[in-house]
Copies of this chain bind each other. A is one copy, B any other.
Amino acid sequence: MKTLAEIASHVGGSLHGDGSVQIERIVHPSLAQGNSDLALILSPNAIRFLEKAKVLNVVLPAGLEGVPVPNRIVVERPRLVLAKLTQLFERPVYIPSGAHPTAVIDPTATIGKDVCIGPNCCVGPNSKIGDRSRLAANVTVGAEVEVGCDGLIHAGTYIGDRSKIGDRVIIQPNATIGGDGFAFVTPETGSVESVRATGEVRHFNTNLVRIFSLGNVVIEDDVEIGAGACIDRGTLGETRIGEGSKLDNLVQVGHNVTIGKNCLIVSQVGLGGSAKVGDRAVVGGQAGLPDHMTIGNDAVVHAQAGITSNVPERSVVIGSPAQPKRDFLEREVYLKKLPRLSKQLKELKQQIALLSEKLGA
């Protein structure tokens, strides 16, 4: 329970109305029911819900403060306020405190202060779990792993040997950190090499020899990894996720990939082995980056893009094969013109035939 005045102060908004009202829940305006509900209006579109529902308290963007709701907090950037409000009203995931009796913790592991290790978790030899970090149930932490402070590792996640996880890292359920890289080689020239060299399959993958992964995964501070995401460890060196970057569910990160700082990698993206993503890049859902390719700083890659050459800094690319958005849109315009072009061509043909006839005559 927080008062409206406390909330206004926390989110940096200006309060109109009764600041002493106690708020229990943040809700979508269509779901506001009582005196302890605070409705959040993110955009002018949502104003219409105020009429239908019984809204007594509202947070809304500047310019809309005239709505007939008794208590209003007016803010500048409502989505940022959503972040602040959800932090204030967070409902932390249930993890029993302390080390659960069913957890299997190697005696050589170092466990920090106020750490929670849930039921059926394993922590391997020489691993360290930093202060206040929480491991939910059925988490497997290998050997010589370092997890920083204030981390949250959700149920079913695997963290492989020698991984280094920074502070305040959140890993969603069933993620795999530090699986082996997908790396094989044919003793002789293989089919893919053949296609690269000649455009045709002239050699065959009669044998696939495994390249073992000796490296590890490094996850810097304040990173978040989505549910079911897979981050392979490096072959010789490391796979690294830079500070503050956020990876969504089911993202695939190949061996030796480097992701910079503050990136957003949306669900189901695939990053091939040794690929590089710069700082602050945004990669849309289901996009793919092949082995050894690069996405530059601040680039924005659209969903489902299939990258086939390095993406420059600050560029915006789209399509499969991916191209600059400007080119893509231009191409779309011409594609839409195609039926008309085809028809015009036919007409010209007829006109020329007529002209030729006249001239020939």
Cα A102 to Cα B205 with chains together (Å):
43
Residue of B nearest to A124 (CB): B94
Q: Is A46 interfacial (CB-CB < 8 Å)?
A: no
- The segment from A1-9, A48-56, A65-73, A207-215 found at the interface with B is A207-215
Chain A, interface SS category:
loop
Could you tell me the distance in whole angstroms from the C-beta of A323 to the nearest C-beta in chain B? Answer: 10
Q: Given A86-B214, A306-B303, is A174 in contact with B345 using a C-beta cutoff of 8 Å?
A: no
Q: Given A26-B236, A232-B249, is A83 in contact with B211 using a C-beta cutoff of 8 Å?
A: yes
Cα A89 to Cα B162 with chains together (Å):
15
B174 touches A156 (CB 8 A): yes
Q: Given the complex, which residues of B lie within 8 Å of A205, measured CB to CB?
A: 262, 264, 280, 282, 298
Counting chain A residues whose Cβ lies within 8 A of the other chain, the interface size class is 35 or more
B264 touches A184 (CB 8 A): yes
Within 8 A of B (CB), among A255-287: 262, 264, 266-268, 270, 272, 280, 282, 285-286
Could you tell me the distance in whole angstroms from the C-beta of A244 to the nearest C-beta in chain B? Answer: 6
Q: Is A176 interfacial (CB-CB < 8 Å)?
A: yes
Q: Given the complex, which residues of B lie within 8 Å of A237, measured CB to CB?
A: 27-28, 31
A119 touches B104 (CB 8 A): yes
Q: Given the complex, which residues of B lie within 8 Å of A267, measured CB to CB?
A: 182, 230, 252, 254, 270, 272
Copies in the complex: 3
A213 touches B86 (CB 8 A): yes
Q: Given A191-B300, A199-B316, A201-B316, is A249 in contact with B236 using a C-beta cutoff of 8 Å?
A: no
Q: Given the complex, which residues of B lie within 8 Å of A201, measured CB to CB?
A: 298-300, 314-316
Q: Is A187 interfacial (CB-CB < 8 Å)?
A: yes
Cα A17 to Cα B36 with chains together (Å):
72
Could you tell me the distance in whole angstroms from the C-beta of A207 to the nearest C-beta in chain B? Answer: 7
Q: Is A352 interfacial (CB-CB < 8 Å)?
A: yes
A residues with CB within 8 A of B: 26-28, 31, 40, 77, 79-80, 82-84, 86-87, 89-91, 93-94, 100, 102, 104, 118-120, 122, 124-125, 136-138, 140, 142-143, 154-156, 158, 160-162, 170, 172-176, 179-180, 182, 184-187, 191-192, 195, 199-201, 204-214, 224, 226-228, 230, 232, 235-237, 244, 246, 248-250, 252, 254, 262, 264, 266-268, 270, 272, 280, 282, 285-286, 288, 290, 298-300, 303-304, 306, 314-316, 319-321, 325-326, 330-332, 334-335, 337-339, 341-342, 344-345, 348-349, 351-352, 355-356, 358-359
